[in-house]
Amino acid sequence: MPVLRSIRERFASERPLDGVAVAACLHVTAETANLVRALAAGGARVALCAANPLSTQDDVAAALAQEGMEVLAVRGEGPERYAGHVEALVAAGPDVTLDDGADLITALHEGGRAGGMLGGTEETTSGLVRLRALDLACPVLAVNEARTERAVNDRYGTGQSALDGILRATNLLLAGRTLVVLGYGYAGQGVAQRARGLGASVIVCEVDPLRALEARMEGFEVMPALRAAERGDVFVTVTGARDVLTSEHFARMRDGAVLANAGHFDVEIALGDLAALARDVREVRPLVRSYDLGDRRLHLLAEGRVVNLAAAEGHPAAVMDVSFATQALAVEALARGGFPRGVHPVPARIDDEVARLKLASLGVEIDTLTPGQQAYLRVWDDPSP
Ligand SMILES: NC(=O)c1ccc[n+]([C@@H]2O[C@H](COP(=O)([O-])OP(=O)(O)OC[C@H]3O[C@@H](n4cnc5c(N)ncnc54)[C@H](O)[C@@H]3O)[C@@H](O)[C@H]2O)c1
């Protein structure tokens, strides 16, 4: 994670977080360890609990605890123990929080302890939905919506890892097949682009006319899902909506069609409809469930759960490097203060800095505007002398 490493090195010399109490409720993984180490190098006192008990890597938790960090996370911990861990972080009275799903900052609000905080960061869409519905007592930076996050995490991360999950589960050759992507948002665009790169013919289904237009102009076929149902060999839902593929679609699909979901929740493929149509259901490979519809069989991957996590390893570390670099710089910005209450976009200078560091880690150099060009562009921005 070279981007985070370079931030950690700067933090170690500048100590921008000296005396700041940081509480993080994140997946306790090796990537997260690098983030909290960077924050600690900047002078922060860091406490960490798990955003999801099933993703905790116990060896990572133990290593961080040995380094003197307060870590409250055990893989498989039950709901009560989980709530106790969040509560312990609340009781310590943090200055800055990091969340992946908003549990920690919500608990601070419920306990009336968020008022004096410098602020928090949020890593997921669903967390931001919760926070926007809350009368926030402090600022929150929407890391999930940063431009670098959209590009690197949603498009390239999901694009690669969703296909990785499908290929690991099925061992299919995508070349020569038709892959249908339902939802052409940031994540869907990545899936479509990468599937094309593997030689698949890609069909896109959308409900947003502009996104559909973009898909068409990118060279993909675009059509309603009911028509695509008759054409696809592999279907990938990535909309964030529910019941995107239902019995109407299943009834039209071809023998052997593969169904996968890369959206956050397992509601995009109507599993009840599929079960109701099936005469027999059997596990034909790990994570591949075959539904016998009489004349055809449809193959559901990972029970309709998010395929890149369930059938592969989620995002590669290089993706989390960018996300967590944004997190680290967002914590630094919050520690400086000055943000009003409410949810705010990550400042553009942080996005630029993360992109610049990522380019540097890839050995890529770019041009900069000359003073003359800067002056010229300023004139167009602001015609007053
Ligand atoms: N698997 C991962 O690692 C990963 C990563 C990022 C996002 N996600 C999830 O993927 C989903 C989409 O995320 P995004 O960032 O691309 O969101 P987005 O809002 O950019 O895109 C979603 C797209 O789906 C379209 N859509 C909605 N309902 C539809 C329907 N019934 N049929 C066809 N298209 C429909 C919308 O018009 C939109 O263009 C969310 O659930 C998100 O949480 C997963």
pLDDT, residue 71, reads 96
**Ligand 1 pocket, mutate which of 191, 238, 245 (most atoms under 8 A from CB):** 238
pLDDT for position 314: 83
Beta carbon of 187 within 6 Å of any ligand 1 atom: yes
Q: For ligand 1, what atom is nearest to the CA of residue 189? A: 16
Q: What is the mean pLDDT of residues 56-72?
A: 93
Atom from ligand 1 closest to the CA of residue 314: 3
Query: Considering only CA atoms, which residue is closest to atom 18 of ligand 1?
Result: 185
pLDDT digits (tens, 9 = 90+) for 131-151: 999 999 999 999 999 999 999
Return the pLDDT at 310.
Answer: 87
Q: Is the pLDDT of residue 242 over 80?
A: yes
Q: Tell me the best of 239, 245, 248, 323 to mutate to test the pocket of ligand 1, counting ligand atoms within 8 Å of each CB and taking the most.
A: 239
Expressed in angstroms and rounded, the spacing between residue 276 Cα and the centre of ligand 1 is 26
Residue 382 has what pLDDT? 58
What pLDDT is stored for residue 206 in this prediction?
A: 98
Residue of minimum CA distance from atom 43 in ligand 1? 264
| Alpha-carbon distances, residue 301 vs 14, 21, 119, 144, 261 (angstroms) | 48, 42, 40, 27, 8
Q: Read off the pLDDT of each residue in 119-137 and give the average, rounded to a whole number.
A: 91
**pLDDT confidence of residue 41:** 97
Q: What average pLDDT score do residues 182-188 get? A: 96
The response to whether residue 55 sits with its C-beta less than 6 Å from ligand 1 reads no
Taking the CA of residue 150 as reference, the ligand 1 atom at the shortest distance is: 15
pLDDT beyond 80 at 54: no
What is the per-residue pLDDT for 379? 77
Tens-digit pLDDT profile for residues 307-347: 998 898 888 999 999 999 999 999 999 999 999 999 999 99
pLDDT in tens, 257-274: 999 999 988 899 999 999
Euclidean distance between CA atoms 81 and 351, whole angstroms: 36
What is the number of the ligand 1 atom nearest to the C-alpha of 265?
41
CB of 127 sitting under 6 A from ligand 1: no
Task: Give the pTM.
Answer: 0.88
Q: What is the mean pLDDT of residues 13-38?
A: 96
Say which range, 10-24, 259-273, 285-299, 305-319, has the weakest mean pLDDT: 305-319
Does residue 385 surpass a pLDDT of 80?
A: no
pLDDT value, residue 264: 83
- Indicate which residue's Cα is closest to atom 4 of ligand 1: 158
Q: Tell me which of 126 and 220 has the higher pLDDT.
A: 220
Asked which of 99-103, 267-271, 292-296, 311-315 is least confident by mean pLDDT, the reply is 311-315
Q: How far is the CA of 237 from the centre of ligand 1 (A)?
A: 8
Gap from CA of 380 to ligand 1 centroid (Å): 36
